[in-house]
A and B are shown apart, each in its own frame.
Chain A
């Protein structure tokens, strides 16, 4: 069996599972974000009374943090009341950050667990050797009541990544390149394991970026075998016992794709699809109006540090707005302590408070008709960040910062 199958089998109380089988698993943690008041409504409609375990359920207010409209303030109010009334142990209000960042920081993510969240990017937690998957509001309501959810055991694609990219290319460039090859529907209904010597050496932040984007290939979940960095990260934040499951040597993947990324240049996803991959060389010179660094994909300490290295002591182009939103309060505090925030503000950057911001077009940096935005986020669908007539380029934080400096898409020189 694969490590993922062992997780599912363990949580379903079975000795073995196989691809295609439908199993009902106990859920280790369930997280609901503030787009999903429907979860609370569905909970009441199904005559729920108490959540299955008050230690294993949390709300994270991130998509609308802080509330930009009366409707969203009302959503927060009703969810906050539900959380209080249920006596939930963990609660992440508008002052904390993005769910996929704050849950690991709070020590709630560990290898071998099943985490479900009302957010498609829950695949991020594969970086920690967890089974993470996104679900909708009503599925979540059934979890809140029963503590369980059914899954179809997925086939596994092994994406083996070997080599070292060019010094100007980062984990985001690697995953954009792979997305361009595997395509947006290349892993629908399946799970992806990322392996290879590139992955084995990667830091926690970069592993999260890659697993985060697995859903853009349609994957149900992502998996990376925990490395030393992950184990240290998890152990420093939780005292919980956990199991690292090993994939059996005779396990047969449904597909095995090998990528050699030696010397890989910075990459872009050009409008309007995540798999519309081009090399930076084919995008250089495109005029931009806004640059954005943030989100569960590219708003971590290392991402903002990459921008700081490029912008310290300089000024962004006068025709560009550059918005940065740290992924969490912890990220924000660390960039304040390092002095990065001060230097970036002096360079002309606009900071907003931790949360999802314009990544999904709700607030804090929406783009207008015919504008071009370069962003460290995850989706460039039409209308994703505002106007359906705008164009979005996905890139690494370094490329975003270099482009903000010149006013057009620029290869970062690190």
Chain B
């Protein structure tokens, strides 16, 4: 994982639940390449077509609430999303994303300070974001060492194989 992540923002609201991130009707798909075709379909039907490698998802509070489906983290990761910035995250989603080495950062009020299309520069270890489009600095919370270790190791599978 790069310490400074730069990408284009896609901004959504509060309580973006896992049915909006990955609708239940596609849960029977198991190939990540198929799973990525429905990313965020419940909230933005155009997202899966428009997303590019390195893009950043920004949301309000409680991102990823609802089901424990790992598909929600898989679809974002395989779509090329580099990091999700939200005002808070639901805990199962937080664990799932961490396990897949998709970094998440909690940033207060970020959904009000960023517009879709803005270019963001995320300083992951320092815990802040620069909105390059509006030239505003947004303070975030530093990711804990425990979580950072999993993400930096490339996810729990790699870490588990190395250390058991």
Contact = CB atoms under 8 A, between A and B. Distances in A.
Interface string B35-74: 0000000110000000000000000011001111110011
A218 interface: yes
Interface stretch (B2-10, B115-123, B154-162): B154-162
A164 interface: no
Q: How large is the interface on A (under 10, 10 to 19, 20 to 34, 35 or more residues)?
A: 35 or more
Contacts of B92: 120, 134-136
B28 A47 contact: no
A71 B29 contact: yes
A388 interface: yes
A45 B27 contact: no
Contacts of B66: 120, 379, 381
A382 B24 contact: no
Contacts, number: 120
A47 B158 CA distance: 11
B73 A136 contact: yes
B15 A273 contact: yes
Contacts of A36: 70
Contacts of A361: 19, 23-25
A37 B30 contact: yes
B19 A384 contact: yes
B28 A72 contact: yes
Interface in A196-218: 218
A185 B20 CA distance: 16
B156 A139 contact: yes
A64 interface: yes
A195 interface: no
B95 interface: yes
A45 B68 contact: no
B26 to A, nearest CB: 10
A378 B9 CA distance: 32
Contact of A185 (B15, B19, B27, B30): B15
A188 interface: yes
B92 to A, nearest CB: 5
A138 B96 contact: yes
A107 interface: no
B88 A188 contact: yes
Interface of A: 22, 35-38, 41-42, 45-47, 63-64, 69, 71-72, 75, 118-120, 134-139, 141-142, 145-146, 150, 184-185, 188-189, 218, 220, 273, 360-362, 379, 381-384, 386, 388
10 contacts: A36-B70, A71-B30, A120-B66, A137-B96, A150-B146, A184-B15, A273-B15, A383-B20, A383-B25, A388-B23
